[in-house]
Amino acid sequence: MAEPTAKKRHLVWFRHDLRVTDNKALTAACTDPDAEVLAIFIATPAQWQAHHLAERQISFIHQNLSALRYKLATLGIPLVCHTSTDFKASTDWLVQFCQQQNISTLFFNRQYELNEQLRDQWLQQHCHQLVIEAFDDFLLLPPGAVRNQKGEMYQVYTPFRRAFLPQLQQHGYSSYPAPTPRGEPLNLESDKPLFAHQNIDLGPNYPAGEKAALQKLRHFCQQNVKQYAQQRDIPSVEGTSRLSAYLAIGVLSPRQCINRLLLENPNTFDSSDGDAFSWLNELIWREFYHHLIVAFPDLCRNKPFIAWTKNLAWSSDSTHLLAWQQGKTGYPIVDAAMRQMNTTGWMHNRLRMISASFLVKDLLINWREGEEYFMRQLVDGNFAANNGGWQWSASTGTDASPWFRIFNPTTQGKKFDPQGKFIRQWIPELQRVPDKYIHTPHEWADSQKVILDYPQPIVDHSEARKITLEAFERAKNQQFHDEN
């Protein structure tokens, strides 16, 4: 009599895809009804530290991983959580785990940063005894799917978007349902930490779990998106989706976002001037920056996209950097933005551009300092988006605008927070300053002969602008001389 065939064992490796609904790797692993499905998550604290991951985001990962563990348990799928120091140690442990558990197929969703790609390539090359199934799940379209007529990656956003939209509609963006239960629900042990971390209360804006994330998505697409184009740049109102933290670690998928957006706003694709399209545009920016880091891996090596900007002579003024980090520059809109991020782990997108421009263009401090500081603070930190935004602000990245675009922080404050509602929320020292002077509070203080417990501007914007323009001009001329 023939021996019974051993039951196949599938392993799903969760990374930045902490959900059971619309998860390509999990769906594929559960397709075979006869296979036993297990799941793992590997924490890599040394790698996270090297990548400047914020303690807030690590705590948010843990909170959502705990919710995922319970959700998987209701499906009869156990989740094993392991801690390795870095990617090398994690792959060594994973290979051993697969051997011990007689895993036949490993399923995971791809990550696109360079170190993550190299880790996955090593697995593909060295685990010949293991079938590996990898999926493009983190984006609407896989990197490389959108190219220009020369077959190259677009280097400017608007042409990329024009080519992206028809590709998206042709490719499709259907979401996958959660897998059906694979047996009796599992009984879980105590709620001890799944990995070592700081337990940080992130407040009411970030409830954990995909159910909470989907509720936020539904509410935004039903309500807030109707005023999105008008309110998205006003930091004193809740005009944005606040979904970036869920997208960053994959509690939500971009397909879920676009499907809910179209369900509530079926004419989204018809008008590029509409509110719903304005939010879709932000999702496409997310795609653009991720496609870029795959096409140009040097972006992951801390290099600027525009080669000649490597010649810039950056300021090393540590007191200026510290003042910017602490929100004590003397420019209210910049300081309010930095204090919001330092306190909550989130900053309004318009303010990210203003504060980034101030660091690079007013203080002439290396954009890499700002990029790292943001990552260490943001609950929604994502390398591709953060790097893309900083290089855009620094005029070192892909951008159709010239390098001499320099935001005036006072003008920006007057435009987007005219009455200073946002400023007063985060800078209580300016509560009594009249609206007329909220962006130049020391003018009022001098006229009234009162003393403000708020710093004088650490630089004069007009003078700083001249210095920055000269620095960029010198860097560009140096490149010209080097090439000739």
By annotation, the residues acting in catalysis are 282, 285, 314, 349, 367, 390
Q: Is-contact 299 383, C-beta < 8 A?
A: no
| Token duo for residue 161 | 């978007």
**Rounded-to-integer distance, Cα 342 and Cα 336, Å:** 10
Nearest Cα to Cα of residue 141 among 242, 282, 283: 283
Unique residue bearing structure tokens 């978007």: 161
- In angstroms, rounded to a whole number, what is the distance separating the alpha carbons of residues 144 and 290? 10
Rounded Cα distance, 281 and 271, in Å: 12
Q: CA-CA distance, 382 to 51, in Å (whole number)?
A: 10
Q: Yes or no: say if 38 and 78 are a contact pair by the CB < 8 Å rule.
A: yes
**Whole-number Å distance between alpha carbons of 246 and 214:** 10
Provide the CB-side half-sphere exposure for 364 (13 A, CA).
22
Helix residue ranges, H only, 174-274: 210-222, 228-231, 244-248, 254-264
User: CA neighbours within 13 Å on the CB side: how many for 35?
Assistant: 21
What is the C-alpha to C-alpha distance for residues 68 and 73, in angstroms, rounded to an integer? 8
Alpha carbon of residue 459 to chain centroid: 31
Cβ-count burial of 377 within 10 angstroms (0-12 exposed, 13-18 middle, 19+ buried)? buried
CA 291 distance to own-chain centroid: 14
Cβ neighbour number for residue 395 with a 10 Å cutoff: 23
Angular region, 203: left φ>0, alpha ψ -120 to 50, beta rest: left
CA 19, 20, 23 angle in degrees (round to 5)?
A: 85
